[in-house]
């Protein structure tokens, strides 16, 4: 499991560790890891041109000490000091002692900075780290712009300056990094869009922090998914493996039913039962499906329901499904049609799977505000509905209603932004629910396999949703390794 911790938790862990270590030891660990990453990026350190963007806090201190290490190995290092009178004193002395240069504010500062950054091989962003609040201030924002426009590789120290560490929000100008070297633990913002996109690839440097068991955010890895995937035993029959019911599709959108079933067939349930007006389309594509033209309440036993994809305005199917005392996944049109009080009153688990636009409609806010504040949005929806919520997107998030750790899916790919891809996910996650996974596991394991399948199916070229469904088995095998 990859985990991320809030700034408050990091600060507490740092204090405890610093009390046991000689002064400055922690910063030296950070600087050593940072310098090593910079050296890797540069390839050849000797003779390279390095520019440090240095703010007023310890983040700038890290950059200065790392710069000193690079200077000792023969790099030409210049530090641009954004707050000269508050620059980390020890770091500054180390850099100067190693032969590095400094440029301080005043007339001509930005012009000089532009020239230096324009010629640099590497720009190290030590403007602000976990102590930052709000977007970058004007001079810092200008330097970030120069770095973005240069051919230099940009390495961010701990976080790309200007992004919100705890939420992944980006409230103003921020540094766009190629690589972020983060210390002690990932911060939530490094895993959640939009901030994640500013971080580039992320390298974690262990500085020995002792972190609590419960993280703020966690991302499943292959082994975590493998441990949760259902496996048929010798005694299994189709009913013991779970039957997933799909109440989806309409005369207008029969394809949504077919795609949801295609996902469900690859999710581990022993059988897929379909109810709705698209039975002919479903059967002709997937003859193994059990179909019924009675409503969900009379369709026969299932261990979990999926309702909503392509449902149009059929509120009755949604209401019937929500009455069932088995886990229910509500997606797409079903989200609009589901009564909030009914969802809240359910005793069996409910998993809602909106994309940002659907989440915005449920919360009564704009799509942009959901996309800009994904973590707060998923938590708010989970609390309002008393349900587990999977908020789809480039960084899909899964939150349980009682608060607690939020999951983020690490396998997403932009190729999944294709029509019908969400229908496949709802069938897949519903199938996992029917196999006995909790709502949070079904959502996060489903999203993981779906993302991986999207990558395999795309392999650098556009995909259709049915390609993704077909590649779920490759993803499953890959995970089981």
Q: Which residues are annotated as a binding site for AMP?
A: 392-396, 422
Closer to K ion by CB, 41 or 472: give it.
41
Helix (H) or strand (E) holding 329, with range, is strand 328-331
Residues at the binding site are: 58-62, 125, 129-135, 158, 161, 256, 310, 355, 392-396, 422-423
Pairwise CA distance, residues 235 & 282, whole Å: 29
Closest separation between CB of residue 316 and ligand NAX, Å?
52
Q: Which does 387 bind (CB under 5 to 8 A by kind): ligand NAX, K ion, none?
A: none
Q: Which stretch binds K ion (CB under 5 A): 120-128, 262-270, 358-366, 382-390?
A: 120-128
Closer to ligand NAX by CB, 131 or 464: give it.
131
The phi, psi pair for 334, rounded to 5°, reads -60, -30
Q: Which residues bind ligand NAX (CB under 6 A)?
A: 14, 18, 26-27, 30, 55-60, 62, 127-134, 136-137, 140, 157-158, 183, 207
**125 is an interface residue for K ion by CB under 5 A:** yes
Q: Which does 131 bind (CB under 5 to 8 A by kind): ligand NAX, K ion, none?
A: ligand NAX
The phi, psi pair for 354, rounded to 5°, reads -80, 155
Question: Is 263 in contact with 431 (CB distance < 8 Å)?
Answer: yes
Q: Which does 140 bind (CB under 5 to 8 A by kind): K ion, ligand NAX, none?
A: ligand NAX
Closest separation between CB of residue 16 and ligand NAX, Å?
10
The phi, psi pair for 234, rounded to 5°, reads -60, -30
- Between 340 and 369, how does the x/- string for binding to K ion read (CB under 5 A)? ------------------------------
Closer to K ion by CB, 39 or 157: give it.
157
Pairwise CA distance, residues 64 & 70, whole Å: 10
Q: Which residues pair with 350 in a beta bridge?
A: 328
Closer to ligand NAX by CB, 61 or 255: give it.
61
Pairwise CA distance, residues 133 & 184, whole Å: 20
Q: Which does 189 bind (CB under 5 to 8 A by kind): ligand NAX, K ion, none?
A: none
**Tokens 């708010």, residue?**
380
The phi, psi pair for 290, rounded to 5°, reads -90, 120
Q: Which stretch binds K ion (CB under 5 A): 152-160, 222-230, 233-241, 362-370?
A: 152-160
Closer to ligand NAX by CB, 82 or 225: give it.
82
Closest separation between CB of residue 249 and K ion, Å?
49
Closer to ligand NAX by CB, 62 or 121: give it.
62
Q: Which does 125 bind (CB under 5 to 8 A by kind): K ion, ligand NAX, none?
A: K ion
Closest separation between CB of residue 56 and K ion, Å?
12
Closest separation between CB of residue 49 and ligand NAX, Å?
23
Q: How big is the CA angle at 261 (ends 256 and 265), to the nearest 5 degrees? A: 155
State which of positions 286-345 bind K ion (CB under 5 A). none
Pairwise CA distance, residues 113 & 223, whole Å: 46
At 353, list the tokens: 């799977």
Q: How big is the CA angle at 398 (ends 171 and 392), to the nearest 5 degrees? A: 70
**Binding residues for K ion, how many (CB under 5 A)?**
5
**161 is an interface residue for K ion by CB under 5 A:** yes
Residue of 30, 54, 157, 248 that binds K ion (CB under 5 A): 157
Cα dist. 363→340, 341, 369 in Å? 11, 15, 10
Q: Which does 55 bind (CB under 5 to 8 A by kind): K ion, ligand NAX, none?
A: ligand NAX
Pairwise CA distance, residues 382 & 387, whole Å: 5
- The beta-strand segments (E) located in 44-171 are 49-54, 76-81, 101-104, 122-126, 153-157
Q: How big is the CA angle at 374 (ends 455 and 382), to the nearest 5 degrees? A: 105
Question: Is 442 in contact with 436 (CB distance < 8 Å)?
Answer: no
Pairwise CA distance, residues 476 & 480, whole Å: 6
Residues forming contacts to K ion in the complex (CB under 5 A) are: 125, 129, 156-157, 161
């Amino acid at each position: 499991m990859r985990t991320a911790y809030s700034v408050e938790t990091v600060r507490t862990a740092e204090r405890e560790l610093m009390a046991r270590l000689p002064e400055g030891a922690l910063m030296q660990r950070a600087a050593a890891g940072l310098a090593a990453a910079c050296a890797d990026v540069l390839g050849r350190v000797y003779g390279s041109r390095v520019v440090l963007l240095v703010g007023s806090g310890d983040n700038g201190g890290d950059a200065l000490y790392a710069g000193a290490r690079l200077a000792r190995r023969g790099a030409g290092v210049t530090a641009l000091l954004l707050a000269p009178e508050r620059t980390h004193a020890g770091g500054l002395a180390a850099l100067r002692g190693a032969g590095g240069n400094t440029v301080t504010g005043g007339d001509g500062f930005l012009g000089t900075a532009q020239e230096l950054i324009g010629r640099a091989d590497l720009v190290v962003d030590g403007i602000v780290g976990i102590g930052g609040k709000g977007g970058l201030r004007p001079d810092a924002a200008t330097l970030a712009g120069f770095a973005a426009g240069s051919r230099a590789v940009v390495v961010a120290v701990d976080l790309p300056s200007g992004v919100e560490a705890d939420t992944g929000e980006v409230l103003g100008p921020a540094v766009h990094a190629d690589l972020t070297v983060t210390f002690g633990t990932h911060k939530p913002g490094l895993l959640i869009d939009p901030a994640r996109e500013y971080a580039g690839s992320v390298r974690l440097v262990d500085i020995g922090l002792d972190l609590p068991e419960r993280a703020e955010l966690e991302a499943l890895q292959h082994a975590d998914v493998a441990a949760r995937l259902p496996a048929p035993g010798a005694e299994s029959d189709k009913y013991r493996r779970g039957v997933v019911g799909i109440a989806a599709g309409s005369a207008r959108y029969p394809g949504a039913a077919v795609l949801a079933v295609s996902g469900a067939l690859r999710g581990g349930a022993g059988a897929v039962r379909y109810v709705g007006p698209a039975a002919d389309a479903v059967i002709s594509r997937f003859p193994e499906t059990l179909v019924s033209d009675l409503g969900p309440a009379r369709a026969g036993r299932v261990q979990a329901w999926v309702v909503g994809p392509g449902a149009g305005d059929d509120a009755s199917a949604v209401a019937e499904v929500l009455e069932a005392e088995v886990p229910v996944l509500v997606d797409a049109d079903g989200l609009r049609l589901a009564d909030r009080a009914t969802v809240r009153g359910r005793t069996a688990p409910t998993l809602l799977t909106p994309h940002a636009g659907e989440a915005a409609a449920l919360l009564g806010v704009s799509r942009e505000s959901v996309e800009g504040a994904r973590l707060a949005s998923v938590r708010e929806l989970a609390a309002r509905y008393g349900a587990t919520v999977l908020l789809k997107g480039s960084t899909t998030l899964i939150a349980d209603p009682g608060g607690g750790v939020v999951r983020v899916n690490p396998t997403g790919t932009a190729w999944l932004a294709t029509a019908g891809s969400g229908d496949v996910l709802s069938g897949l996650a519903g199938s996992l629910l029917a196999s006995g996974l909790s709502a949070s596991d079904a959502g996060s394991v489903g999203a993981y396999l779906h993302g991986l399948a999207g990558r395999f199916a795309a392999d650098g070229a556009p995909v259709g949703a049915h390609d993704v469904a077909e590649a779920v088995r490759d993803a499953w095998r890959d995970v089981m390794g």
